[in-house]
Amino acid sequence: MSNPALPQAAIPLSVLDLAPVTAGSTPADALRNTRELAQLADRCGYTRYWLAEHHNMTGIASAATAVVIAHIAGATERIRVGAGGIMLPNHAPLVIAEQFGTLESLFPGRIDLGLGRAPGTDQNTARALRRHLAGSDDNFPQDVLELQSYFQPVQPNQAVRAVPGAGLKVPIWLLGSSLYSAELAAHLGLPFAFASHFAPRFLFKAIDLYRSRFQPSEQLDKPYVAVAANAIAADTDEAAQHLLRSLRLRFAAMARGVRGQLQPPEAFVERDWSAAELAFSDESLACSAVGSPAEVRKQLEGLIEQTGADELVLTAQIFDHAARLKSFALVAEAWGLPAIRPADQNSAAAPA
């Protein structure tokens, strides 16, 4: 499944930021950290910077995703900024068209709209967001088509239009961790991103299904796959594995039904967790590259060889903010991303 079109080191790297709220900090701290990381990603040559919609989670600060995207796009110059993703069943398509039409109007040529069909929260919170749940997931394909229509030029006698939004053709991606979104992305001819950073089980089946059933569209003439992965780099393999302990703890706690703020690595004590909980954590983190910069590059190259990914979207939930900044900088340097000089910022091009 290798991608013969590009040498592996030429595959673009992007960032998925969950705006983690660490123990002892506040959402305001998390959003300041997100801004600083986005500015570093902009300078280091990453292609896009995505934020994800989650609700009622004390460890994630990006619930008002479109607002955070505006915050990040305004603080950067070149990098594409977008949603990875908006959970469309939580919203009326017109509202999302207006939000992202506004973003595209403010930051032309730099906005991405990734869509998912999960609630991004628990059922009680989903009900509070939507008021009712009946049919919301079942309507996902129709909602995607409706949302697409609002970005098209206004038609004669069109009664409802997105202002801003109409005619802007904001790039839409479908995101998923199962076969459903892969098949829908293929049918609609949209780029597809797989959430293997937390749910790698169906990664290869989903990619095969998407590529085999892809139908060209006005937006995309051939399949385009982005694969999400955890990537944690430090000066040594041991230091990187230590940083990973915060994320291992987060997933072990999820297996127990517990969510909360991101904890320091020292808080993870293996004997406190059952074999099943540890297995769940390790299985969830199977799509991860952790180690020295050279080791992370080697593991990411292996992921590209296995999947033929056109792009990698990297995430790193690291407790220490300085270590998270350093990790992304080390990965960019090891990958050979072209660092952007200040004078280059406005002229640098990034693929849509």
Give the pLDDT band of residue 28 (cuts 50, 70, 90): very high
Give the pLDDT band of residue 119 (cuts 50, 70, 90): low
Q: With a cut of 80, say whether residue 212 has pLDDT above it.
A: yes
134-176: pLDDT as tens digits: 555 678 999 999 999 999 999 998 999 999 999 999 999 999 9
pLDDT of residue 130: 62
Count of helix runs (H) and strand runs (E) in the chain: 11, 9
Q: With a cut of 80, say whether residue 13 has pLDDT above it.
A: yes
Reported residue count of the chain is 352
Between CA 184 and CA 191 the distance in angstroms is 10
The residues spanned by each domain of the chain are 8-341
Stretch 197-226: mean pLDDT: 97
Structure tokens at 68: 């955070």
Class of domain 8-341: alpha beta
- Say if residue 322 is exposed, middle or buried (CB neighbours under 10 Å; 0-12, 13-18, 19+): exposed
246-299: pLDDT as tens digits: 999 999 999 998 989 999 999 999 999 999 999 999 999 999 999 999 999 999
Stretch 302-328: mean pLDDT: 98
Render 196-233 in DSSP notation, one character per residue: TTT-GGGHHHHHHHHHHH----SS-SS--EEEEEEEEE
Q: Give the amino acid at 242.
A: H
C-alpha closest to that of 8 among 205, 243, 289, 282: 289
- Say if residue 268 is exposed, middle or buried (CB neighbours under 10 Å; 0-12, 13-18, 19+): buried
Q: With a cut of 50, say whether residue 347 has pLDDT above it.
A: no
Instruction: Using a cut of 0.85, tell me whether the model's pTM lies above it.
Output: yes
Q: With a cut of 50, say whether residue 116 has pLDDT above it.
A: yes
Render 104-151 in DSSP notation, one character per residue: HHHSTT-EEEEEE-S-SS-HHHHHHHHS--TTTTTTHHHHHHHHHHHT
Mean model confidence pLDDT for the chain? 91
